[in-house]
Amino acid sequence: MSEKRMVIVTGGGRGIGAATCRRLAAEGHAVAVNYASNEAAAHQVVAAIEAAGGKAVAIQGDTGQEADIVRLFETAERALGPLGGLVANAGVTGPVGRVESITPAVLERVLAVNVTGLFLCAREAIRRLSTKHGGKGGAIVNVGSRAAELGGGGEWVHYAASKGAVDSFTIGLAREVAAEGIRVNAVAPGLIETELHAAAGGGDRLARLVGFVPMQRVGSPEETAEAIAWLLSPASSYITGAILPVSGGR
């Protein structure tokens, strides 16, 4: 994205998404901070951006629901002007558990948010950005996971498989829209210090697994946001279809 146009960050209220919103706003982008239910957290992100002189709005919307996604894009453009980029970050793990105890409800929700929702967010972005549709082009960054390759065995194979779909989607979509001014890339975070692990019932997951990280430490949301912002920026202008690990070597 060559100009500082508006960016929608799904799941921008907390964790990696919140750090990404702050990072993009500091670069001069107006940012639509999407969240599911934690209104206070999203408003805190907006307040921090505004206090630093940036422009942002918080927009509630469940990316597991098509109608919410359509409303998110319409509301963001009404408030902040034409779309320039999308960070498809919203994701859920479902509870930690083995495949033999999976329920259709958990599986459906994880796939609805991590896969179907990601596809539909990209659809809305392409309809606005593609030169084929009269748009100016732009960039999409999907937030996958190193779990896609590690597999999540014993913990969350359902989640890992959904992130495998994110990787394939990123590669395929990148090729589909490459000649229409849109770059599509993904980051694959490893162990990043957010509330996601405890919320999944993973307890002290970060402490338990940090020893397997070659760099011997977990990553921060800010370090992940840096990679996302780079993939969204003109600094990565000849890169599309890439899946960039942000994982300390794991």
- Stated as kind and residue range, the H or E segment containing 105 is helix 104-111
Q: How far is the CB of 115 from ligand NAP (least distance, A)?
A: 11
Strands 31-35 and 6-9: parallel
Q: Which is nearer to ligand NAP, 59 or 135 (CB)?
A: 59
Q: Which is nearer to ligand NAP, 30 or 36 (CB)?
A: 36
Q: Which is nearer to ligand NAP, 36 or 140 (CB)?
A: 36
User: Which residues have C-beta within 8 Å of that of residue 212, sequence separation ≥ 6?
Assistant: 250
How far is Cα of residue 72 from the mean position of the Cα atoms in its chain?
Answer: 15
Q: How far is the CB of 183 from ligand NAP (least distance, A)?
A: 20
Q: Which is nearer to ligand NAP, 3 or 204 (CB)?
A: 204
CA–CA gap between residue 43 and residue 89 (Å, rounded): 18
Q: How far is the CB of 143 from ligand NAP (least distance, A)?
A: 4
- Stated as kind and residue range, the H or E segment containing 186 is strand 182-189
Q: How far is the CB of 34 from ligand NAP (least distance, A)?
A: 6
Q: Can you give the binding site for ligand NAP, defined by CB under 6 A?
A: 10-11, 13-17, 34-38, 41, 62-64, 89-92, 113, 143, 145, 189, 191-192, 194-196, 199
Residue 27 · residue 79 · CB < 8 Å: no
- Active site annotation includes 159: yes
Q: Which one from 35, 73, 156, 159 is the annotated catalytic residue?
A: 159
In three-state secondary structure terms, 12 is: coil
Active site residues: 159
